[in-house]
């Protein structure tokens, strides 16, 4: 297992380095002068020129590209992400709270997704071509064809505008509320974004679980198990589902991590102060440092996702780690 | 009859089945052993799939809607008409009620989307649609006639853009509709003036944001938006000499009792600066005035007309005509002149068909021009209506027709999706085939490349790229950029599938058989292995197309895809990030969103059906 783990990490290191090179080049393409963004605007002309030169040196822009890349990369690992011009605070401070908010949102989503899609997917595979199966097939096809913002807008229109049950979006106000009211307000703000993200991820996960289950149910060992006279419950849950778990688990891990980057649109529609929304407002405000940090963060997350799903895969399926 | 037919058919098909089962039909060897080509099988399987066929029909309908539609229904991308912003769906602006007899009509007035007729018996008839003005709760419905107005004997009405004024025989003034600037209720001093015994109302005038009155003592009262009342300063020459007024939003032309005209309001406009001298020095006696938003028109006692103002919308170019002008009137961006022989001369903007006269119109007796609608009554008593019929899918915040933008946006969205898919499929084919065919270090490198690209978080990077590169680009180049971004970030899945499929097919027995027969390696690759991979590609093109449409919509929705004013289904929804739009202007987000969903859904249905048609094993799923 350790050998397998080390091997996967060794493969992923060059992948991550390549991504950082891509990110660095995108940073260099960014419009706007990074030096100017760091300087106060109230300086006199000659003072400004001096400050400009000093900052130019300090940012290391006089060095060669590979050197600049190396400084940028090591700074990232040291946790020095730079200065967010939009908030006038260090980037690290700016992103802490949004990361927490996104994690809260995504945990809710992943739990709902697992609670619904796994039993439904199994049942669809067992009762193939039944009305139940057909319903969920249509459901997942239709939901899969919907852009997340459209689902979000429809839900806002129904539940916030017409019925007035839930807020339009935004975050609970921590200064006005306390105790249970605060928690309740959190939950009310969480409902719609969670539902939107869950619907979309359920749509694909149900299909994956169902197909994995069908493949498992078509295996010879299932026929053997049935021929032995095992109970159908045992056949389905211990024999078929455990084997279907292999593809499902990797997908679940991947979905969890991809939610971070994928919830950008949903967070924007609901004005949920998560990292996706921070990303979009950083771009709208031309906050270069924040943009590049966010991109590096998202990339690190997705590489981690690949690594973790590889590990889970190897953990569940011995054939993978031994081959 | 019908029943018998059905029974007959069932019976005969049963008959045929039994015949086939028990009495061997004489088929020739060739017939019995005939095999279909794979393509035929696929088509046959596909046409049997009902959902797939529905998807295909929808998909073709969308293609026709977008590509043929955009040829038939050209739009001007830079056109805006703020006055008509946010109008709800409706095509009935010109639908005069059939019960309204032309000979009963005393006057017809129109606002941006509604019209009122005043009948000779003092009652009102209305049609058209309600202009949406629900913001800040400052609207009563303009199409709802207030009770006291319905009871009163009305003698005169005028329409502003979104409000109405009416005057009854007792000299009472009524106002209803949009009152955001206080334009529906006359201020106290005006009310006090009206209550005097000897003062009567000569003329009422209503613009979008203000209203005005000319009283019988020839004084002018203006109320409504503070900007207008500040703008319209009355000099001593004007006060007490006003005969008639006409106005745009920012300028007003006033006909004085000595037959000269004056212009007040915004001083920098051509409306103000270009007044012909002979109209102000008294050498010509004017009898009537009319004004569009930025242009003025004057009729003199000899039946000649004079016009000046902005050069937009061809308003200063009066078409050549013969005869004397009997009456003049104006809409928001067009003029209408009625000649003495009953024919009509009209010029100005035609974007809403307001200057497109109906064919075979008889000699007119009276003509009424509203904002964008016109009504003419002939001498023999028929009513003609022409101008803006309305918007089938409403209008957006700039007064652009949502249907037109939907058609052209469809063309853009479907094209961007298609080209992005083609780019990604080409990359996937090249990468997947080389990796699977060459193997070894090529395979390794390419698969690591695929790993790198799939580890790139899509939305953040796409948005960053669009911002970093797209900012300096032209509209057209930006479209290409979006296609490339979508294509380059979307090929990995298919490339892996192709490679895997190739590896599987390579090991199959038929390849071994082909090798044993001595067929060349190249030929095995192209003729034996590739067709099996090809099916995979076809299915993935349709499914990938659906997801490209969705991703483009998402990017444009965030404001980092197709840029305004070029429409796309995604960027039509960008403004739906404001809660006002979600709340009140549902047609601006629901309709384009629905089109995205249906287009993606139909592509997905076709893709699913194709997959089942190509690989019958899928049917077991």
Question: Which structure tokens are listed for A307?
Answer: 């690594």
Place of tokens 């995108």: A26
Q: Do B245 and B289 touch, CB atoms closer than 8 A?
A: yes
pLDDT of residue B1: 46
Q: Rounded to the nearest 5°, which phi and psi values hold at B111?
A: -100, -160
**DSSP, res B162:** S
Q: Is B448 on the interface with A (CB under 8 A)?
A: yes
Q: Do B455 and A11 touch (CB under 8 A)?
A: no
B 585-614 residues with CB < 8 A to A: 586, 589-590, 593-594, 596-597, 600-601, 603-605, 608
- What is the enclosing helix (H) or strand (E) of B264? strand B261-265
Separation between Cα atoms, residue A206 and residue A125, nearest integer Å: 10
From the options 1.10.760.10, 3.30.1340.30, 1.10.10.1100, 2.130.10.30, give the CATH code of B234-388: 2.130.10.30
Q: Is A303 on the interface with B (CB under 8 A)?
A: yes
B535-585 pLDDT tens trace: 788 888 998 999 999 999 999 998 888 888 889 998 898 888 888 888 888
pLDDT of residue A41: 67
Q: Where are the domains of chain A?
A: 91-284
Nearest Cα of chain B lies from the Cα of A209 at a distance, in angstroms, of 12
- What is the enclosing helix (H) or strand (E) of B368? strand B364-369
pLDDT of residue B59: 93
Whether pLDDT at A30 is above 60: yes
**DSSP, res B385:** E
Whether pLDDT at A61 is above 50: yes
Separation between Cα atoms, residue B187 and residue B223, nearest integer Å: 7
Nearest Cα of chain A lies from the Cα of B19 at a distance, in angstroms, of 32
What share of chain B in percent tops pLDDT 70? Answer: 95
The whole-chain average pLDDT of chain B stands at 86
A 202-241 residues with CB < 8 A to B: 210-211, 214, 218
Q: Is A308 on the interface with B (CB under 8 A)?
A: no
CA distances from B19 to A37, B30, B577 (A): 87, 20, 67
Residues of A in contact with B603 (CB under 8 A): 145
Question: Which long-range contacts link A134-139 to residues 24+ away (Cβ below 8 Å)?
Answer: A136/A206, A136/A210, A139/A203, A139/A206
Q: Do B448 and A261 touch (CB under 8 A)?
A: no
* CATH code for the part of the protein at A91-284: 1.10.3720.10
Residues of B in contact with A302 (CB under 8 A): 454-457
Instruction: Give the Cβ contact number of residue B26 at 10 Å.
Output: 7
Look at residue B267 and give its three-state secondary structure: coil
Interface test with A, best of B134, B444, B445, B464 (most A CBs within 10 A): B464
Query: Of B163, B267, B173, which is closest to residue B209 (Cα–Cα)?
Result: B163
Specify the CATH superfamily of domain B45-73+413-620. Answer: MetI-like (1.10.3720.10)
> DSSP alpha helices (H): ranges in B369-474?
402-438, 440-455, 458-470
Q: Do B459 and A156 touch (CB under 8 A)?
A: no
* Sheet containing strand B373-378, strands side by side: B364-369, B373-378, B383-387
* Complex ipTM more than 0.90, yes or no: no
B100-114 mean pLDDT: 89
Whether pLDDT at B312 is above 50: yes
Q: Is A31 on the interface with B (CB under 8 A)?
A: yes
Question: Which structure tokens are listed for B302?
Answer: 């000899």
Q: Which among B452, B586, B596 has CB closest to A18? A: B452
Query: Of B400, B392, B404, B393, which is closest to residue B66 (Cα–Cα)?
Result: B404
Listed in sequence order, the residues at least 6 apart from B562 whose beta carbon sits closer than 8 Å to its beta carbon are B412, B413, B416, B478, B479, B482, B552, B556, B568, B570, B571
Least confident of A48-52, A271-275, B475-479: A48-52
Place of tokens 């590889």: A310
B481-497 pLDDT tens trace: 999 999 999 898 899 88
**DSSP, res B31:** H
Strand partners, B348: B334
Phi/psi-derived region of residue B388, left when phi > 0, alpha when psi is between -120 and 50, beta in every other case:
beta
Q: Do B365 and B378 touch, CB atoms closer than 8 A?
A: yes
How many whole angstroms from its chain centre is CA A318?
28
Whether pLDDT at A309 is above 90: no
Whether pLDDT at A52 is above 70: yes
Q: What is the DSSP string of A237-250?
A: IIIIHHHHHHHHHH
Half-sphere exposure for B309 (CA within 13 Å, toward CB): 31
A140-190 pLDDT tens trace: 999 989 999 999 999 999 998 888 888 887 777 767 767 777 888 888 888
Q: Do B621 and A301 touch (CB under 8 A)?
A: no
B121-132 pLDDT tens trace: 888 998 988 887
B225-254 mean pLDDT: 84
B213-232 pLDDT tens trace: 898 888 888 888 887 777 78
Separation between Cα atoms, residue B357 and residue B386, nearest integer Å: 6
Q: Which among B460, B577, B620 has CB closest to A279? A: B460
Nearest CA in chain A to B594: A150
């Amino acid at each position: 297992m350790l050998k397998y783990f080390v091997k996967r990490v060794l493969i992923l290191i060059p992948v991550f380095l390549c991504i950082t090179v891509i990110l660095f080049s995108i940073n260099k393409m960014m419009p706007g002068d990074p030096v100017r963004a760091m300087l106060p605007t109230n300086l006199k002309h000659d003072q400004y020129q001096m400050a400009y030169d000093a900052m130019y040196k300090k940012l290391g822009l006089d060095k060669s590209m590979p050197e600049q890349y190396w400084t940028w990369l090591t700074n990232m690992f040291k946790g020095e992400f730079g200065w967010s011009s939009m908030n006038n605070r260090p980037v690290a401070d700016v992103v802490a709270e949004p990361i927490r908010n996104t994690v809260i949102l995504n945990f809710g989503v992943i739990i709902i997704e697992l609670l619904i899609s796994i039993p439904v997917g199994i049942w669809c595979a067992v009762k193939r071509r039944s009305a139940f199966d057909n319903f969920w097939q249509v459901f997942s096809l239709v939901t899969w064809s919907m852009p997340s913002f459209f689902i979000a807008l429809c839900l806002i229109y129904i539940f916030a505008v017409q019925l007035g049950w839930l807020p339009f979006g935004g975050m609970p106000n921590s200064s006005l509320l306390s105790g249970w009211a605060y928690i309740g307000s959190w939950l009310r703000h969480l409902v719609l974004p969670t539902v939107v993200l869950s619907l979309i991820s359920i749509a694909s996960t149900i299909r994956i679980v169902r197909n994995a289950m069908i493949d498992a149910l078509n295996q010879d060992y299932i026929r053997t198990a049935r021929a032995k006279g095992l109970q159908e419950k045992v056949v389905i849950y211990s024999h078929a589902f455990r084997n279907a778990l292999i593809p499902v688990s990797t997908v679940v891990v991947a979905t969890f991590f991809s939610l971070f980057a994928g919830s950008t649109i949903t967070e924007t529609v609901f004005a949920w102060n998560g990292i996706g929304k921070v990303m979009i407002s950083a771009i709208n405000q031309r906050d270069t440092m924040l943009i590049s940090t966010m991109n590096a963060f998202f990339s690190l997350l997705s590489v981690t996702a690949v690594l973790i799903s590889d590990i889970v895969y190897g953990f569940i399926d011995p054939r993978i780690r031994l081959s | 009859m019908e029943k018998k037919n059905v029974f007959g058919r069932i019976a005969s098909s049963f008959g045929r089945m039994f015949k086939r089962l028990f009495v061997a039909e004489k088929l020739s060897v060739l017939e019995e052993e005939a095999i279909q080509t794979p393509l035929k099988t696929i088509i046959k399987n596909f046409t049997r799939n009902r959902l797939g066929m529905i998807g295909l029909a929808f998909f073709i309908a969308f293609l026709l809607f977008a590509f043929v539609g955009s040829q038939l229904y050209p739009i001007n991308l830079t056109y805006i008409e703020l006055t008509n912003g946010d109008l709800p769906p409706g095509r009935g602006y010109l639908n005069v009620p059939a019960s309204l007899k032309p000979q009963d009509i005393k006057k017809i007035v129109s606002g941006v989307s509604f019209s009122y007729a005043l009948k000779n018996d003092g009652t009102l008839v209305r049609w058209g649609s309600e202009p949406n003005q629900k913001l800040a709760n400052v609207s009563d419905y303009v199409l709802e006639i207030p009770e006291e107005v319905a009871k009163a004997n009305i003698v005169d009405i005028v329409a502003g853009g979104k409000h109405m004024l009416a005057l009854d025989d007792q000299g009472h003034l009524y106002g209803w509709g949009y009152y955001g600037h206080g334009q529906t209720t006359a201020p106290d001093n005006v009310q006090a003036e009206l209550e005097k015994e000897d003062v009567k109302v000569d003329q009422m005038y209503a613009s979008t944001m203000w209203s005005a009155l000319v009283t019988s003592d020839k004084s002018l009262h203006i109320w409504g938006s503070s900007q207008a009342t500040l703008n319209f300063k009355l000099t001593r020459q004007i006060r007490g000499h006003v005969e008639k007024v006409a106005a745009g939003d920012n300028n007003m032309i006033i006909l004085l009792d000595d037959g000269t005209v004056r212009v007040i309001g915004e001083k920098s406009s051509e409306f103000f600066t270009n007044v012909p001298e002979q109209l102000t020095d008294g050498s010509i006696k004017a009898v009537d005035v009319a004004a569009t938003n930025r242009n003025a028109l004057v009729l003199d006692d000899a039946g000649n007309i004079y016009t000046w103002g902005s050069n937009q919308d061809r308003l200063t170019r009066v078409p050549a005509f013969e005869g004397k002008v009997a009456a003049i009137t104006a809409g928001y961006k067009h003029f209408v002149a009625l000649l003495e022989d009953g024919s009509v001369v009209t010029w100005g903007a035609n974007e809403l068909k307001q200057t497109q006269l109906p064919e075979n119109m008889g000699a007119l007796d009276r003509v009424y021009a509203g904002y964008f609608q016109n009504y003419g009554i002939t001498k023999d008593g028929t009513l003609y209506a022409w101008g803006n019929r309305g918007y089938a899918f409403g209008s957006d915040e700039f007064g652009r027709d949502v249907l037109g933008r939907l058609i052209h946006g469809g063309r853009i969205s479907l094209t961007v999706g298609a080209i992005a898919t083609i780019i990604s499929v080409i990359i996937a084919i090249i990468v997947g085939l080389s990796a699977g065919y060459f193997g070894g270090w090529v395979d390794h490198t390419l698969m690591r490349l695929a790993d790198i690209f799939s580890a790139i978080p899509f939305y953040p990077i796409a948005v960053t790229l669009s911002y970093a590169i797209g900012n300096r680009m032209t509209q057209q180049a930006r479209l290409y950029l979006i296609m490339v971004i979508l294509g380059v970030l979307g090929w990995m899945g298919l490339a892996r599938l192709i490679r895997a499929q190739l590896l599987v097919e390579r090991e199959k027995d038929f390849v071994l058989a082909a090798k044993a027969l001595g067929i060349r390696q190249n030929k095995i690759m192209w003729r034996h292995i590739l067709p099996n991979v090809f099916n995979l590609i076809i299915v993935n093109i349709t499914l990938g197309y659906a997801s490209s449409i969705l991703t483009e919509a998402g990017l444009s929705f965030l404001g980092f895809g197709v840029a305004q004013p070029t429409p796309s289904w995604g960027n039509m929804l960008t403004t739906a990030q404001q809660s006002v739009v979600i709340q009140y202007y549902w047609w601006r987000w629901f309709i384009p969103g629905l089109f995205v969903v249906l287009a993606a859904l139909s592509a997905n249905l076709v893709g699913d059906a194709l997959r089942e048609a190509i690989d019958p094993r899928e049917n077991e799923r």
